[in-house]
Each structure stands twice: as structure tokens, then as C-alpha cells.
Amino acid sequence: MQLLEISDLVVDHDPGTRERLPVRRGDVVARLTAAGDRSGARIAAGLACDDAGHLDPLAVDRRLVAVHTELQRLSEELRLGDRIAELLGPLLAVIRAAGSADGPLRVVDVGCGLGYLVRWLAASGVLGPDVDLVGVDFNAALVREAERLARAEGLPCRFVRGDAFALDEPATVYVSTGVLHHFRGSDLDAFFAAQATRGTAAFCHFDIAATGLAPIGAWVFHRARMRDPLGRHDGVMSARRAHDDDTLLTAAAHADGLVPLMYEPRGRSNPFCTTLRPVIGVRPELLSPLRAALGPGPSGRLVGRADAEAAVRREASAGGGAG
């Protein structure tokens, strides 16, 4: 059975202009039906559409904002802000110390949705005042709501509608939460390849850990805490679509010039506790300082492929530098 999320099917953009394109409800229902997903097809069949059978874009946007608002509970429950800050803090410290950033330090949240992560980082101030916090999403309705929420709290962060990898100003660090499983196969490779840009020192992408327990945990959480059937459907699907560590490390190797690593890979983590964990990429010269900054416990949970790590060590000893 092909695993599909309804929220991926109900919005379409022109790949060149990024203009919103009309979506036929019948096409969405047909795709879910062909995938053997009868409950998904039923939910899609209930979405509002016009006489020509096109989904009402305003109703779709309202629904997606509502679902993402519920989804924020998951980020709060999993203490996502704290967990990312625990890694981003040391990472930015070593980037600052190495003078690796061209211009101001900029953290870009790829596919920020309602911007929970960026708003959390801005509200806590934990990364320091010299860090420009930017959330980027293709979806205009989500970006508008993220801006509204940030403005209501007077938070020092900003949101941009568009492609996170096509910003005028380079990201020092790309981050994301719950985005990776939306990309499959060569699209996942391309997601990482796009990060090998001028100025990028690192990436840190959190997504659902592909454990046997993940779909069960997601089902229980979404039953207990989410009301919207679309959100419940997609939440459980997300867990079923989660990439395993090997897939992520292989794809992350497409980010040229950045060493791919998993934090809390399977085998080094408790599947009852590890719900989300990041794949990380760093410039080779930052790896050794990052391990030192994290300290022995967290550093031991940061694991790369033996060959990639050995190459970094060889290069460092040949150059006499840190690695």
C-alpha cells in the first residue's frame, strides 16, 4: 500500500512560479482509493469544493491551519524546542568560534508551518541576540498565521513564503521538524543536495524515529490529543512513512561538503523514549569542536558512518587541524 498524507494532496503549486494551482477533489479521492486508503478517501470526499469539483482553497487553508494548530501540541509535549536548542546552542557556538559564517548567523526553518520552532527559539532567546531566526514555507496561509502569532507576542523572528533553499540571504544552519518523511527517493536526495550552498555550515533536521512503536505511539497521541480526522489520519501516516537511519544517512551524503551524522540512532536509543531524532550535517572542520562542545554523553549519541568519520580524521591529521 502506498502511504499518502491528505495534506500533501490537497495543495498544489506551480513548480516554477510557485503559484497555487487548483486541485480536483475527485483526483485526491481517486489517489487515496488507489492506494487502498479508504478512510483517507472518505475524509477527502468530505472536503468542500465548487461546482467544477475543485477544492475550495480557502476552506483547505483553514483546515490546514487548524490541523497545524493541533499539531503544535505534539511539539510542546515532546519538548521539541528544548531538544533542538540543546544541539543548536553548541553548534552555533562552534560556528561562531571558527568564524565559519559569512555574515550574520542565520537559522532557517525549512517548511516551518506555523513556525512553532522559530517562535519558541525567539521567545526563549536561547541562541543569542546575534542569530537571525527565519521560518520559510511554500504555504502562504501557514506563513500568514506564523507571522500573526509572532507579532501577537512581539517575537524577534520573521517568516517568508517561498522555497527555503532559494532565499537571497544564505542560511548558516538549516533546520526542520517533521518535514523529511514528505520527501521520498530522489526528492530526499535533492532536499539534502540543496543545502550545500555558500555560507551553510550545518543542518539539523528532526523527524520521527522509524521504530516499530512509532505508528502505535502516533495513533495513541492523535486519538488522545487531536480532534480533526484529517490531522489524525496524517499523523499516523507520518509515523508509518518515517525514514530509517540508513536511508537518512545515505540521502544526507548528497549535501556536498557537510559530514552526515545521526543523533540518537537506533541501537543507541530507547525506542520508548526516542520519538523524534535529527539527522545532522556539519562542515568537517566543525565536527571535532562540536563533539567537544556537546560533552561526552551527547557526543556519544552523535554517530556517523565509519568511513565518513575516518575521512574527516585523516584530512584533519594531514592538514594538522581539528577534525
Ligand X SMILES: C[S@@+](CC[C@H](N)C(=O)[O-])C[C@H]1O[C@@H](n2cnc3c(N)ncnc32)[C@H](O)[C@@H]1O
Residue 137 interacting with ligand X (CB under 6 A): yes
Q: Which is nearer to ligand X, 187 or 315 (CB)?
A: 187
Least Cβ distance, residue 167 to ligand X (angstroms): 9
Q: Give 116 or 263: the residue with its C-beta nearer to ligand X.
A: 116
Assess 145 for contact with ligand X (CB under 6 A): no
Q: Does 112 bind ligand X (CB under 6 A)?
A: yes
Torsion sign (Cα): 218, 164, 258, 291: negative
Q: Is 95 within 8 Å of 162 (Cβ atoms)?
A: no
Q: CB-wise, 88 or 164, nearer to ligand X? A: 164
CB of 2 to ligand X, least distance (A): 18
Nearer to ligand X, 136 or 201 (CB): 136
User: How many beta carbons lie within 10 A of that of residue 248, not counting itself?
Assistant: 24
Cα distances (Å, whole numbers) of residue 203 to 106, 145, 174, 222, 312: 12, 25, 5, 29, 17
Choose one: 110-118, 151-159, 197-205, 277-285; the region binding ligand X (CB under 6 A).
110-118
Among 163, 167, 189, 268, binds ligand X (CB under 6 A): 163
Based on the shown chain and the rule CB under 6 A, indicate whether residue 165 belongs to the binding site for ligand X. Answer: yes
The reply to whether 215 sits near ligand X by the rule CB under 6 A is no
Region of 24 on the Ramachandran plot (φ > 0 left; ψ -120 to 50 alpha; else beta): beta
Residue nearest to ligand X (CB): 111
Question: Contact between 284 and ligand X (CB under 6 A)?
Answer: no
| Residue 90 near ligand X by CB under 6 A | no
The closest alpha carbon to 252, from 313, 199, 310, 190, belongs to: 190
Question: Which residue of 100, 177, 275, 288 would you call a contact of ligand X, by CB under 6 A?
Answer: 177
Q: Which stretch binds ligand X (CB under 6 A): 20-28, 37-45, 97-105, 131-139?
A: 131-139
CB 191 within 8 A of CB 251: yes
Among 40, 57, 111, 235, binds ligand X (CB under 6 A): 111
C-alpha distance from residue 56 to each of 48, 106, 223 (Å): 6, 36, 27
Sheet arrangement for strand 276-282: 158-161, 131-137, 105-110, 173-177, 202-208, 276-282, 259-263, 302-304
What single letter denotes the amino acid at residue 174? Answer: Y
Instruction: Name every residue whose Cβ is closer than 8 Å to that of residue 29 and which is 6 or more positions away in sequence.
Output: 41, 44, 45
Among 142, 157, 214, 255, binds ligand X (CB under 6 A): 142
Residue 34 is placed in which grid cell? 488507489
Contact call for residue 158 and ligand X (CB under 6 A) = no
- 97 with 201: CB under 8 angstroms? no
Element (H, E) at 245: helix 245-252
Rule CB under 6 A: is residue 57 a binding residue for ligand X? no
| Binding-residue total with ligand X (CB under 6 A) | 20
In the chain, DSSP finds a helix count (H) and a strand count (E) of 14, 10
Region from 17-25, 34-42, 157-165, 167-175 binding ligand X, contact rule CB under 6 A: 157-165
In this chain, which of 90, 113, 215, 231 binds ligand X, going by CB under 6 A?
113
71 binds ligand X (CB under 6 A): yes
| Contact window for ligand X (CB under 6 A) among 24-32, 124-132, 174-182, 208-216 | 174-182
> Does 219 sit near ligand X (CB under 6 A)?
no
Query: Given the rule CB under 6 A, which residues bind ligand X?
Result: 68, 71, 110-113, 116, 136-139, 142, 163-165, 176-179, 182
